[in-house]
Structure 1
Amino acid sequence: MLIGELSNKTGLSRDTIRFYEKQGLISIGRKERRENNYKEYSENTLHKLLTIKRIKNFGFTLNETEEFLALLDRDAATCENVAEKMNEKLFKIDEKIKELQDLRSSLSSNLTICLSNCCQSESNNCQMLSVN
């Protein structure tokens, strides 16, 4: 199938498909080209792209996705291996949530200070932006 059909079947843009190819997540051999040099994508490539899309939808990075694909290629994507990677991702997400909660708390506190102190300033500029 050509890239347009592959794009329609996966819901990925042509640019995304080309990007994944450039990154080495999918590969097209010379013999998988038509006489006019158009790339002919296989069902295997379709399934690989759908797998990539699924992994990315779980929030995994491109590098993490590549690790999953390597496990699949080696027939080593056991539930234990996948669960380990998912637990690592959950830990990272929890860390990020904590960082965002701390940031939110700090911003909220500073907003209160800003709103209560701005009226007492000689300048029109908010004192929260001052480094003095």
Structure 2
Amino acid sequence: MKISDVSKTVDLPISTLRYYEKKGIIPETYLVRDENNYRAYDEQIIPFIMSLKSLLSAGFSIHEIKDILSRKELAREQQLDIIKEKMNEIEQLQKKLDDAKHFLQDSLQSAEDCTW
């Protein structure tokens, strides 16, 4: 597949795919060269990129994803621990956001109740 085909299929700009390549996120096994020595991708890159997008949506950074991919030998239990750790981070962030929202709501209410 050409990079433009992958880009359209996974709904990511070509520049993003090249960035992932440069950062070592896309494994070499998905990269092939066509008869003209142009870069092409194996069809299996599509599910890989979709999983990558899901991990990014879940809050994993490019650095974290690269680390996970580089340690293919991780036991299932270790993988689950990484997921649980990310869930805890998200829950802590959600608590901070909830606290900030309540503070702002209280401040807004106090300002509305104040008569000058």
TM range (shorter): 0.7 to 0.9
Hey, what does 2:33 align to over in structure 1?
A: 32
State which drifts further: 57-66 or 92-101: 57-66
Alignment of 1:10-89 (within 5 A): 10-26=10-26, 32=33, 35=36, 38-43=38-43, 45-72=45-72, 76-89=73-86
1:24 to 1:113, Cα distance in 2 relative to 1, 3 A: same
Which 4+ runs in 1 deviate beyond 4 A?
44-47
The answer to which structure, 1 or 2, has the higher relative contact order (CA under 8 A, 6+ apart) is: 2
Alignment of 1:109-120 (within 5 A): 109-117=106-114, 119-120=115-116
What amino acid sits opposite 2:51 in the alignment?
A: T
Specify every segment of 5 or more residues in structure 2 that has no aligned partner in the other structure, as ranges.
Answer: none
Tell me if structure 2 keeps the 8 A contact 1:34–1:40. Answer: no
Task: Write 1 or 2 for the structure with the bigger share of strand.
Answer: 2
Provide the aligned length of Structure 1 versus Structure 2.
115
What amino acid sits opposite 2:105 in the alignment?
A: S
CA deviation after TM superposition for structure 1 residue 44, in Å: 5.3
Note if 1:107 corresponds to 2:100. no
Tell me if structure 2 keeps the 8 A contact 1:10–1:50. Answer: yes
TM-score, normalising length: structure 1: 0.70
Hey, what does 1:3 align to over in structure 2?
A: 3
What is the SS of the residue equivalent to 1:40? strand
The CA RMSD measured in Å over matched residues stands at: 2.6
| Aligned equivalents of 1:108, 1:47: Cα separation in 2 | 43
| Aligned equivalents of 2:49, 2:112: Cα separation in 1 | 50
TM-score, normalising length: structure 2: 0.78
Specify every segment of 5 or more residues in structure 1 that has no aligned partner in the other structure, as ranges.
Answer: 121-132
What amino acid sits opposite 1:41 in the alignment?
A: Y
What amino acid sits opposite 2:85 in the alignment?
A: E
| Aligned equivalents of 1:65, 1:89: Cα separation in 2 | 12
